[in-house]
Amino acid sequence: MKYINTILLVVIAIALGGNFYLDHKRDVAIQAKAEAAAAPKKEDEPSPFDKMPTDPMHDPHAMRSGPVTTISFEKTVHDFGRIESGPLYKTSFKFTNTGKYELIVSGAKTSCGCTVPSFLSKPVKPGETGDIFVEFDSKGRTGQQVKLITVTTNTDPKENVLTIKSNPYVKN
């Protein structure tokens, strides 16, 4: 019986202590709101969000900090034509740095997992050429296929879209 009374007292103390804590927490929040409302507004003080860093290669609205160059592709569309479904088909898109600064290809993404782009990550000097290599896996594909490859560079615009087309058929 002695232990039951002790346990009961501990449970009551915990419950009361929890209520006191919640009341204190609520009072502190109310006081903080009142102090914030009473504080004079500083209109000329910048928001902390104004100073957040941006990644210019992934933010279309960010200003570019480095030099911007130009790019020219020999072709932006490759048509494999009528092909047998199953094999892996490869092509490349040759480009030239037509600007005054080094060209940096920072990424290439596709509209489908069956298409895989690759490129050398070294800068391309003005007047020099480079390639975007593309592999198309036709396995399980039939009918008209159109796949897009978005290439990200330090150009304006920063994204260039390349297209591959094919018409795979199942060989009997």
> Per-residue pLDDT tens for 91-137?
999 999 999 999 999 999 998 999 999 999 899 999 999 999 999 99
Question: Distance between CA atoms of 114 and 138, rounded to whole angstroms?
Answer: 7
DSSP-based three-state secondary structure for 161: strand
Q: Which two tokens stand for residue 143?
A: 């009918």
Separation in Å, CA 5 to CA 2, 15, 17, 18: 5, 15, 18, 20
- The per-residue pLDDT for 69 is 93
Nearest one of 153, 125, 160, 129 to 68, comparing CA atoms? 153
- The per-residue pLDDT for 75 is 97
Do 155 and 106 touch, CB atoms closer than 8 A?
no
Continuous segment of H or E residues that includes residue 127: none
Query: Tokens 């860093």 belong to which residue?
Result: 53
Question: Distance between CA atoms of 60 and 152, rounded to whole angstroms?
Answer: 11
For the domain bounded by 71-169, which CATH number is listed? 2.60.40.10
Domain boundaries, the chain: 2-51, 71-169
Amino acid, res. 102? E
How large is the average pLDDT for residues 46-53? 53
Predicted confidence band of residue 34 (pLDDT cuts 50, 70, 90)? low
Beta carbons within 10 angstroms of residue 153's beta carbon: 24
Residues 6+ apart with CB under 8 A from 104: 123, 124, 153, 154
Q: Which two tokens stand for residue 142?
A: 């039939």
Question: Distance between CA atoms of 6 and 89, rounded to whole angstroms?
Answer: 79
Question: Distance between CA atoms of 96 and 128, rounded to whole angstroms?
Answer: 6
Query: What single DSSP character describes residue 47?
Result: P
Q: Does position 63 have pLDDT exceeding 70, yes or no?
A: no
